[in-house]
Structure 1
């Protein structure tokens, strides 16, 4: 390029929702780059979406943009192209002459200007259409994420080239030989001299290889440029980069230069692992749908992407999977600098078909295939572009999908390819030409994720418990004895099955299973996590752009209508604590799995659509929700993770504690001769301690450090302890909470008026001023919600609807506990105000009674947090005055709870309270009300 004219600034605008055509004079103006919504153009949108953010100025149709520009004399007659970095479907006219139409959602629109521009003023008109796309567009156009905006974002410019110039420049690194192979096309000349040079930047040291000049012929050519034996390599640990400069020289013509960012790296799939420059790495990924609530569209500045990716990296993330979307150039540039492994995805979530399918849409298929080529051409030179996916949860023709993979690999073998993310969900397959597999299961029961929706049951181990830290997925990925393993139950011969499909259900054809599927490529666990927290209504004020959190406002009003708005901040904080602990176990399970090559979280940040899924420890703005610090998160999500593997969290005094200590080590430098120190503490008191040698000779090791074992000390009361592990002299540490209980505690209900329902006898006792405890028969209790420990998966309204449409059990939908931990009932069962492991098996054998309509004074001692759609007031343990007496209700299965150490301790505390003078409730209920609640 010899020059460019920036076309950013003020343009005339005409909105044309009815697509009637351009009308002059144009009646409005807009600043580009930008979108109509961001500029506040159009009629205000009065809608209030409950399932996603609301675009205040949503507009769909044609938008006409026009402006004049000046061509200076020295650029007149030169080769020129119009460059629109990111937009929708565009048609362009210059001086009234149409240049054509482009429809890429993922790559720049570049228009060659056939008629040479003359000196002086010219007029450009661009029509942008954000309807009737060749494909639905996934998260490139979804209102759930970056919205279906209309406009032009990023660079808008006229680019000028000399008589000879380069096209389609591609760089192929060769790490072994320390060279780069450059492929390109020379246009406008039969031959030229090409000088190649490189200068390192963002690097650990300076490096400038010697320039070299090549004689090249017109058309396609290839040259090999040496970076020297001391070339700097690019990786997540050392993101060394080069500015690669290609300069064309011809006699009598000005020199023409092309520059690109280049990184010398080899990202490979080797066996069951990924390697970077020969060193194993473990992908610690996050999902990204390009959610940017202040603008409604993805930024195109490196600075903003650096902000986002640096936050993610501070939480241990080294990989981004873009769900049915491809980020702009600036995202790859930022990832290049930070050492983030990027996986863009075709903008498709559906069925890939061929002529054998009744619903075959060849035009859409060809568009998507071409979109992939456009992505590779536009962004393939970036070292961070290491992987590519054909879409999300695809179905259809395996042969067609594999054919697309084969063609892409022939065209560009730099990235690794996968058929898609979680394709053929219940009947997965590994295709011949894919380099890695991304999914959630290999058969109905071979699960390698910790959580699943009810419509996708069986659920995962994080949801179902009881919980220790022993789970890994090695036997799920590589069965120890595959001889007896069959195909998926009921699907061995193919046929129709019903699946979750986006936010709905869909019936698809399942291909016949071919027996046991054993992977021979690296395996990534897809969209792990999805643990929801209750909304933080303080976040509403942050939506100062075109997207408004009217969903949050609706949820806030619902809570107030149920008289529970005073608990909103506690709901948010306490559901969040359970979600964090669930994520910890989810991630550690992945790190414990030798056969797993990585994971893709859903998510580190909240997802603002698809029912409003607040599944992050960061909000949609990538700001902390105050649930966990990045430093603490990195103790279970980094390139070095300490693991203690033990059977349970709850122990009786004198019981033996046993744990295996392991280290998942993914750093390039050896860890030799370090000391691991461990201790068990209660407050400031050290109860046990020890040390072991910790070494890892190479990256990729899951090192067995040793075992620790000791008898739990005698304690007079239930005691919360902390097991801390630290490799001295490093940042590698970990902590777990364990609980110790006094030995010999009995759940003695002697002397207590204990009933399964409010019988006439119980009512008479209450009338006489007696104390009554009701522990209902849970099988007969109808005014209640099932007890569960883990927070809701993704979000209740979306999966309730999907489950109902599939005629499957709906999710429980609750989100942890709000515990009055200062209440005397818990004197002998000291608790945090949120759910912790002592409550897990107790809650799993419980019901939460619906207390809607009762007074605010009736605040349960153990309250279950409901989701933002129902907002029931839920009590597992509550008390009230009925008549002259005192009623205590505990909807827990005492028999089954009493079979566990923690359950006996809780019942002991409850019964002691019921016998004590402290049992004096203040809230009141009429007998008829109490009976109705316990029906």
Structure 2
């Protein structure tokens, strides 16, 4: 390595929010304050403490926007005189540099190190280095690189801050271009200070746990550069060279020493071939499926992206433990340490340009030459800075872009011509409802192939139609293949139009010129930002936010819940909604696994996203810590390189039915062998078992065969566990199915069912047991099975601004499963597939205004903005009578086996001595909840109908 000085430490400092420092000559003065570097102004607590309490994202305790000045003094060693110097600022914002009061230049990269070439020193006089960092007036908005929703718009310098002393003759700008087929690497770079030199190359292969796996034969050669100083050199690695992939994350480190020049240059790379064939990705010729997660670089403690290797090894290691092999960086690019960690762990990385907008062509109305030129150059900088990392696998032009596909194609051609080591795509979910695949695309990333052909399971309400997990009865037989290649082609629509769409956190009007017809893909498909199932906040996380960001949004949500009288249910809401979200994620990921023509998916997200309205969509919290909702092993059961899939059309069965399922294996694991074993259990009792052989070297989606078992005929509802596994491996997946007794519920004579408040009050006044299934609910929310998408308040505002239906906004049931009214039916205290038809045939009564003290037996969890107390089933004493209110329309479920079982259990409870409600309601409260008394003649008609219905039932 070349000689290097570490400039980290205490620097002089000044804040310049009004950006007058250049005019005032701060670069010529001794700055008045101090600050530790590397670091940010927020980490140092500089500025005015922020007391705001926003709900859209975490609160930065010490926000700062403007210019900040940093200054240090460096005294050179006499041995370093007359040599080139290189100042490196690894991670920062837009910078300007002064040495001894003379400005030397500026740099505006948001994603790559800022490097300044300093003139050789003539004497040992101290150097005053002054740097102005600006986090305002960017040449582009910056996406998640600068967003307060994610890592904050910080100001500072993080990571390496160094001064490198370069020999008079030295190598720079090294890039490695591996050739996996020929087991060699071509090194390209610049030779400075001479046109030729004697070069020695040594090196070895290494891994995370082995410093030297294999040495390469030293190479001695005469290196000659062209007139510009550029050189190219091929290095053989040997016939037994080691390839890089997620299974063999082996790297090479080469040291290049020029004769007579002190120090050496080092380049690290991986020997790998990343290609596509038909509709799949291939790594070193073997198929691979991308199991990805989104990363917006949200780091609550630091507010800025970490730059140390150990932290990235920890973070990426957690993701890998959950079966993740791919990261997509939403409108951002991670630092060097992230790529290095991904190299060592075997993770396929996809950074993006820091852009979320319109890439128009010259001459078009929205063309911004300055911004577009900046973005294109930023992409080239990313390729130069990180392109030799084998984990740098894909590059996207940005998120949900609009504009000119021809212009995007031209940009991609430029990148590929300059750097063929990566795969490229025009963007993530470009053109949304009207996608296209360019000739220059290596793969397609999106959520639909036309408005109706959906390739993920959930969508925002403003982007209707909704997905199959939001609208269809739960099952395990959904595949996207029939939508990817439909039997009947869609009608082509080519007329131009201006349309209003949801765009980020707002609304945008776009012009669709063509390609409005359905897309028939011919390249690998990566389904974009799948999941987004909301989990209720866990307020126990609040004390974890001890760094630059405070969870004041969580505090506000908790106060709202307390104001609604439900603070004591917060933990139950979190757990019940979280378990539903986990079920939805399982169904979502398995649908992708079951789809032969889906080459990968990108979750949004494995972890919470605490911005954009506060989107708590993760199984992990914002710190990448488990929420305790699902274990790593359970998650890997459906998110791994080898997943066993049981395909059946429903979860609910009548006793004595035959259960049948087709078993498939989605596999990319080399050399997986053995036999698939299955068993169906009821607790510890095994009801049926069997095995199916694996084919030799299974790869891709493989059908193993059918399994069948006769189900028991139970006296009460049972939940059975189907386990699929390959013994002596970690490949295991489980499913819960529900079996119901064959019953035909009959209303007991001592129970009266009514549909209006007047009917109920008349009977209650005589001390009756009354089941009210109300025709009218004064204030209600529709029953909706799936958890809310992303974040209710954000999309409520968007839907209202677009005059589109607002989402229901709920997060599943909280079930008092020990209550005797449901204890024979409910198998968990949260939403499970047995509740689908019951929920979707119900309206949830809003209780907090008329009956704030009521605690429902079945309660729908509302979102943290609205905080309704929502009841589907609750009981109360009204005067001398006993009342059960059920907002599930039971008559609509008469042919559903689960509806019969639920109804029968409810009837049995109401007829028993256990039906003794402790809560009380007044007649006035009932009227407020379920409607005013009807006119006198209508009341008589209702009473007559009621007497007719119950004429043979004696009063209780």
Correspondence for 2:789: 793
Moved more, 738-747 or 385-394: 738-747
Question: What secondary structure, in the 3-state scheme, does the structure 1 residue paired with 2:264 have?
Answer: strand
Question: What secondary structure, in the 3-state scheme, does the structure 1 residue paired with 2:584 have?
Answer: helix
* 1:821–1:830 CA contact under 8 A, matched in 2: yes
TM-aligned CA deviation for residue 513 of structure 1: 2.5
CA distance in 2, matches of 1:418, 1:248: 39
Is 1:839 matched with 2:846? Answer: no
* Structure-1-length-normalised TM-score: 0.97
Among candidates 505, 514, 517, match of residue 507 of structure 2: 505
Correspondence for 2:822: 826
Moved more, 716-725 or 613-622: 716-725
Is 1:848 matched with 2:844? Answer: yes
Correspondence for 1:326: 333
Correspondence for 1:664: 666
TM-aligned CA deviation for residue 913 of structure 1: 1.8
Correspondence for 1:728: 727
CA distance in 2, matches of 1:798, 1:225: 54
TM-aligned CA deviation for residue 771 of structure 1: 1.7
CA distance in 2, matches of 1:828, 1:239: 52
Correspondence for 2:311: 304
Question: What secondary structure, in the 3-state scheme, does the structure 2 residue paired with 1:385 have?
Answer: coil
Question: What secondary structure, in the 3-state scheme, does the structure 2 residue paired with 1:206 have?
Answer: strand
CA distance in 2, matches of 1:117, 1:785: 77
Correspondence for 1:284: 291
TM-aligned CA deviation for residue 822 of structure 1: 1.1
Correspondence for 2:103: 98
Moved more, 25-34 or 144-153: 25-34
TM-aligned CA deviation for residue 354 of structure 1: 1.7
Is 1:453 matched with 2:463? Answer: no
* 1:319–1:340 CA contact under 8 A, matched in 2: yes
Is 1:923 matched with 2:919? Answer: yes
Correspondence for 1:151: 156
Among candidates 400, 405, 412, match of residue 407 of structure 2: 400
Size of the aligned set, in residue pairs, is: 921
- Alignment RMSD: 1.4
* 1:664–1:701 CA contact under 8 A, matched in 2: yes
TM-aligned CA deviation for residue 803 of structure 1: 0.8
CA distance in 2, matches of 1:25, 1:704: 73
CA distance in 1, matches of 2:624, 2:805: 34
CA distance in 1, matches of 2:824, 2:140: 61
TM-aligned CA deviation for residue 395 of structure 1: 0.2
Is 1:363 matched with 2:396? Answer: no
Is 1:72 matched with 2:77? Answer: yes
Question: What secondary structure, in the 3-state scheme, does the structure 2 residue paired with 1:662 have?
Answer: strand
Moved more, 541-550 or 516-525: 516-525
Correspondence for 1:465: 472
* 1:747–1:904 CA contact under 8 A, matched in 2: no
CA distance in 2, matches of 1:78, 1:665: 56
How does 1:705-720 map onto structure 2 within 5 Å?
Answer: 705-720=704-719
Moved more, 349-358 or 102-111: 349-358
Question: What secondary structure, in the 3-state scheme, does the structure 2 residue paired with 1:207 have?
Answer: strand
CA distance in 2, matches of 1:768, 1:403: 81
Correspondence for 2:690: 690
Correspondence for 2:534: 532
Is 1:354 matched with 2:353? Answer: no
Is 1:784 matched with 2:780? Answer: yes
TM-aligned CA deviation for residue 729 of structure 1: 2.1
* 1:765–1:885 CA contact under 8 A, matched in 2: yes
* 2:856–2:875 CA contact under 8 A, matched in 1: yes
Correspondence for 1:583: 585
CA deviation vs aligned residue, 1:785-831 (integer Å, no higher than 9, x gap): 00011111101001111111111110100001111111111143133
* 1:696–1:703 CA contact under 8 A, matched in 2: no
CA distance in 1, matches of 2:746, 2:606: 42
CA deviation vs aligned residue, 1:362-421 (integer Å, no higher than 9, x gap): 000000000000000000000100110000000001111010000000000001000000
* Structure-2-length-normalised TM-score: 0.95
Would the alpha carbon gap of residues 747 and 221 (structure 1) be closer, same or farther in structure 2, given more than 3 Å must change? farther
* 1:493–1:513 CA contact under 8 A, matched in 2: no
CA distance in 2, matches of 1:100, 1:269: 42
Is 1:901 matched with 2:903? Answer: no
How does 1:415-814 map onto structure 2 within 5 Å?
Answer: 415-479=422-486, 481-482=487-488, 484-487=489-492, 492-513=494-515, 515-669=517-671, 671-672=672-673, 674-698=674-698, 700-746=699-745, 748=747, 751-759=750-758, 761-777=759-775, 780-814=776-810
Question: What secondary structure, in the 3-state scheme, does the structure 2 residue paired with 1:644 have?
Answer: strand
CA distance in 2, matches of 1:214, 1:420: 43
TM-aligned CA deviation for residue 696 of structure 1: 4.4
TM-aligned CA deviation for residue 493 of structure 1: 1.4
* 2:12–2:30 CA contact under 8 A, matched in 1: no
How does 1:112-127 map onto structure 2 within 5 Å?
Answer: 112-116=117-121, 118-127=123-132
Among candidates 243, 247, 257, match of residue 237 of structure 1: 247
CA deviation vs aligned residue, 1:884-935 (integer Å, no higher than 9, x gap): 2111110011122222110111111112222222221111111111111113
CA deviation vs aligned residue, 1:344-374 (integer Å, no higher than 9, x gap): 0000000001223222210000000000000
TM-aligned CA deviation for residue 857 of structure 1: 4.6
Would the alpha carbon gap of residues 904 and 492 (structure 1) be closer, same or farther in structure 2, given more than 3 Å must change? farther
Correspondence for 1:216: 223
Among candidates 893, 902, 906, match of residue 910 of structure 1: 906
CA distance in 1, matches of 2:279, 2:357: 28
CA distance in 2, matches of 1:120, 1:307: 43
TM-aligned CA deviation for residue 427 of structure 1: 0.3
CA distance in 2, matches of 1:175, 1:926: 79
TM-aligned CA deviation for residue 849 of structure 1: 0.4
TM-aligned CA deviation for residue 269 of structure 1: 1.2
Question: What secondary structure, in the 3-state scheme, does the structure 2 residue paired with 1:356 have?
Answer: coil
CA deviation vs aligned residue, 1:744-792 (integer Å, no higher than 9, x gap): 4335465532111201x42122122222111012xx4341000011111
Is 1:194 matched with 2:204? Answer: no
CA distance in 1, matches of 2:850, 2:198: 85
Question: What secondary structure, in the 3-state scheme, does the structure 2 residue paired with 1:382 have?
Answer: coil
* 1:426–1:441 CA contact under 8 A, matched in 2: yes
Is 1:163 matched with 2:173? Answer: no
Moved more, 880-889 or 592-601: 880-889
CA distance in 2, matches of 1:25, 1:48: 37
Among candidates 869, 874, 884, match of residue 888 of structure 1: 884
TM-aligned CA deviation for residue 182 of structure 1: 1.0
TM-aligned CA deviation for residue 116 of structure 1: 3.0
TM-aligned CA deviation for residue 701 of structure 1: 2.5
Question: What secondary structure, in the 3-state scheme, does the structure 1 residue paired with 2:417 have?
Answer: helix
Correspondence for 1:89: 94
Would the alpha carbon gap of residues 372 and 356 (structure 1) be closer, same or farther in structure 2, given more than 3 Å must change? same
CA distance in 1, matches of 2:122, 2:792: 58
* 2:751–2:768 CA contact under 8 A, matched in 1: no
TM-aligned CA deviation for residue 519 of structure 1: 1.2
* 1:680–1:686 CA contact under 8 A, matched in 2: yes
Correspondence for 1:316: 323
